[in-house]
Structure formats: C-alpha cells, structure tokens
Amino acid sequence: MSDEIPKPQAAASSTPPAPAPEVKAPPAAHAAPPAAPKKKKAEGILVKKPGQWVCLVKDEKGKSCEGKLKRFYDLDEALIRQVGKDAELYRCVECHSLYRPENLKHDPAATWAEV
C-alpha cells in the first residue's frame, strides 16, 4: 500500500478554451521623446573667480547654468595627469563642469580655515 492520496482530476470538457483577447500597444505617436541632458558641460577646466559659487556656463539659448560649485575630490587618472594629484578643483552640481581657482592666495574658499 502506498501512503499517497490520490489527487482529484479535472473534469474533461467537450468545448475548447476560448483564446485570450490580444492587448494592443499604445500608438508610437504618444511616446515621450528621449530625455536630453539638462545642462551643457563646458569643455576643459574653467577658471573660478574669487568668491564665485555658481556655474556660469551658458546653454544654446544663452541662459547660465547657475549650479552650485562644490569641491571635487574624485579625480580620475587623466585628470590627475592634467592638473596634478593635489590640485584644488570644483565641479558644478548641475552640468558637471570643472573649475580651478584663479588665484589660490585670494580665494576665500581655499583660505576660510586660515582666517
């Protein structure tokens, strides 16, 4: 004797199952266009004026980016070769443009701890 319990079998029906209705995709005319970058990144490293805290890169329409400049520490190998290992760089939080201080002696961001 086996200890298995017999499973009930489904009753066989004489009618075949109805096919599932097809779902149509929405027309392509309503699809959203691909997202373009918000801001244009400047080529190369720009010079940050003393006391400058916002990005001044202009887009195609002539509008300034005005993103906040923050100290940038994550230098890759190509950037280290270009500016040096211990260089002071700032990056815009909006368009990721890089800035270096114009004159390190007079830059308030570089000397605020010494005051």
Q: Judge whether 41 lies within some domain.
A: yes
Of 65, 69, 73, 107, which Cα lies nearest the Cα of 91?
69
User: Rounded to the nearest 10 degrees, how much is the dihedral formed by the CA atoms of 101, 104, 109, 113?
Assistant: 160
In contact, 19 and 77? CB cutoff 8 Å: no
Print the domain residue range for 92. 37-111
Would the pTM count as exceeding 0.75? no
Please check whether residue 25 lies inside any domain of the structure: no
Is 19 contained in some domain? no
H/E stretch holding 90 reads strand 89-92
Give the CA count within 13 Å in the CB-facing half-sphere of 15. 3
Q: How many domains does the chain have?
A: 1
Q: Is residue 101 part of a domain?
A: yes
- Summarised one tens digit per residue, pLDDT across range 2-47 is 567 766 666 655 666 667 677 665 555 555 554 444 567 778 899 9
Q: Summarize pLDDT for 37-77 with one digit per residue, the tens.
A: 456 777 889 999 988 999 999 988 889 999 999 999 988 89
In a domain, 4, yes or no: no
What mean pLDDT is predicted for residues 98-104? 84
